[in-house]
Amino acid sequence: MPSDSVLRLVWIYPDLLSTYGDQGNVLVLEQRAERRGIPVETVHVRSADPVPENGDIYLIGGGEDRPQILASERLRRDGGLQRAVARGAAVLAVCAGYQIMGSTFGGEEGQPVDGIGLLDIASGRGAGRAVGELVAEVDPALGVPTLTGFENHMGVTRLGPGVRPLSRTVVGTGNGDGTEGCYAGKVVGTYLHGPALARNPGLADLLLTWATGTQLPPIDDTWFTRLREERLAAVVPRP
Ligand code: GLN
Does residue 46 have a known ligand-binding role? no
Residue 176 Cα to ligand 1 midpoint, Å, equals 13
Residue 5: pLDDT band with limits 50, 70, 90: confident
Q: Is residue 180 part of a domain?
A: yes
ipTM (interface predicted TM): 0.94
The pLDDT of residue 238: 62
Range of the domain at 13: 7-235
Smallest CA separation from ligand 1 atom 5, residue: 96
CA-closest candidate to residue 190, choices 89, 85, 97, 72: 97
Mean predicted lDDT score pLDDT of the chain: 95
Which domain CATH number covers 230?
A: 3.40.50.880
Whether residue 61 has pLDDT greater than 70: yes
225, part of any domain: yes
Residue 1 included in any domain: no
**pLDDT tens digits along 12-43:** 999 999 888 999 999 999 999 999 999 999 99
Q: Provide the pLDDT for residue 231.
A: 87
Q: How many domains does the chain have?
A: 1
Q: How far is CA 17 from CA 171, 176, 237, in A?
A: 26, 22, 29
Residue 60 lies in a domain: yes
| Distance between CA atoms of residues 44 and 89, nearest Å | 16
Establish whether 182 is a catalytic residue.
no
pLDDT(125) > 80: yes
Q: Is residue 132 part of a domain?
A: yes
Q: Is the pLDDT of residue 2 over 60?
A: no
Q: What is the rounded distance in angstroms from the CA atom of residue 34 to the CA atom of residue 23?
A: 17
**pTM for the whole structure:** 0.96
Q: For 127-152, what is each residue's pLDDT tens digit?
A: 899 999 999 999 999 999 999 999 99
